[in-house]
Amino acid sequence: MDMDGVMADLYEQLFDWDERDSGKRKTWEDVAGRKEKETFPMIRHYLFCEGFFRTMKVMKGCREVVEHLNTKYDLYITSAATEFPLSLPEKQAWLNEHFPFIGWQQMVFCGSKQIIHADIMIDDHFKNLDVFKGEMSILFTQPHNAHADNGKHIRVHTWEEIAKLLL
């Protein structure tokens, strides 16, 4: 499963940092259906800033469901991290803090996810799910994908829905 936009609340972080810099807080409605880089002018800068990945909030309901999934599945965290060098240690520290039951053996920090072999993938990006060759691909709703659909994936809006689907 993916981190940003699935386990870690990337948009809350973007709303916070963008509000700090612009003086006005955007809402889900403001950004839905548009790419992150179109709605957050400073995003490329944020992605290289110390603390950006380290201080994200955990997505609502995620911790409990992941802890449960971890007892039933051979679970791996697959996060695109190599594009942003600071994100590597920050993402690992974030996982260790919020998900201490996930071992280093289960962490995968990569660029392209084409190399990932698994049965089920949970991600918020079509580019990752579309090339996935496993049995089930789950699209986690985030503003950038909210208005798109290609009929290939199971869409979920919350971790509660993931629990219903997989537990």
Which residue from 68, 44, 52 is spatially nearest to 3, judged by alpha carbons?
52
- Residue 92 binds its own copies, judged by CB under 8 A: yes
Quote the CA–CA distance of 6 and 140 in Å, as a whole number: 6
Which amino acid would we find at residue 167? L
The answer to whether residue 164 forms part of the interface with its own copies (CB under 8 A) is no
| Residue of 32, 88, 136, 166 that binds its own copies (CB under 8 A) | 88
Output 1 or 14, the one with its CB closest to its own copies.
Answer: 1
Answer yes or no whether residue 93 interacts with its own copies by CB under 8 A: yes
Of the residues 83, 97, 149, 160, which one makes contact with its own copies according to CB under 8 A: 83
Q: How far is 122 from 113, CA to CA, in rounded Å? A: 12
Catalytic residue among 4, 9, 18, 123: 4
Does 4 qualify as catalytic in the annotation?
Answer: yes
From 35-43, 52-60, 80-88, 138-146, span contacting its own copies (CB under 8 A):
80-88
Is residue 111 a contact point for its own copies (CB under 8 A)? Answer: yes
SS3 140: strand
74 counts as catalytic: no
Cβ–Cβ < 8 Å for 137, 145: no
SS3 41: coil
Please list the active-site residues: 2, 4
